[in-house]
């Protein structure tokens, strides 16, 4: 299952972040803002519990989040989305998965994994700006499930039909939320029109 976040505010910011003339400072700010909007939607169905709170006037029946939240950015570009979701849920724990795409095979290679104990039994939110071939996302979900995660959500900024299909075939139980579903992958497995190399644009590096 995937959901496109087509809110005008998200789409306005997406137009700016795509622009080749948007520098790395503005790109980071926009990634944070867009992430917050997408995660707001992605977390709308998480578990809550009823609590009572004493207001200055009377006792109020309220709701509080009733699950451990674990944010898992895929290194390195996923780090650029971390601030956005932590502004929304500052009590969330953070795990990291390091994956890179082999330039020859185009397959993901794992080089780092550090996850909190709350991964087991909690709600895990994988964040990565680009869901292109879907290989890294599938690998990250595989790692989380192997670590005991049963509730996983994927949040990205831009994706494409090929990536969505691959993830949904491998993990149909994992919902995907995105600000854009672009046209296709090119021969180099980059999303078209996309927004370029998200890691390089986030951190001001060159490919």
Catalytically active residues, by annotation: 101, 105, 197, 200
Q: Work out the burial of residue 83: count CB atoms within 10 Å of its CB; fewer than 13 is exposed, 13-18 middle, 19 or more buried.
A: middle
Place of tokens 């939110």: 125
- Beta strands 151-155; 184-185: pairing state: unpaired
> What is d(CA 96, CA 94) in angstroms, rounded to the nearest whole number?
7
The alpha carbon of residue 201 and the mean position of all alpha carbons in its chain are separated, in whole angstroms, by: 17
């Amino acid at each position: 299952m995937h959901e496109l976040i087509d809110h005008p505010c998200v789409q306005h910011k997406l137009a700016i972040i795509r622009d080749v003339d948007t520098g790395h400072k503005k790109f980071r700010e926009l990634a944070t803002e867009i992430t917050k909007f997408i995660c707001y939607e992605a977390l709308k169905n998480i578990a809550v519990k009823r609590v009572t709170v004493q207001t200055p006037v009377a006792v109020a029946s309220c709701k509080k989040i009733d699950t451990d939240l674990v944010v898992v950015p895929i290194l390195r570009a996923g780090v650029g989305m971390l601030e956005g979701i932590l502004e929304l849920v500052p009590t969330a724990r953070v795990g990291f998965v390091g994956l890179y795409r082999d330039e020859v095979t185009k397959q993901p290679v794992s080089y780092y994994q550090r996850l909190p104990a709350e991964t087991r039994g909690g709600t895990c939110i994988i964040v990565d700006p680009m869901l292109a071939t879907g290989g890294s996302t599938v690998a990250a979900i595989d790692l989380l499930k192997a670590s005991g995660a049963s509730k996983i959500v994927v949040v990205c900024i831009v994706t494409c039909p090929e990536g969505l299909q691959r993830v949904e075939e491998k993990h149909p139980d994992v919902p995907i939320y995105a600000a854009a579903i672009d046209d296709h992958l090119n021969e180099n497995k980059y999303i078209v029109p996309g927004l370029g190399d998200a890691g390089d644009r986030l951190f001001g590096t060159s490919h």
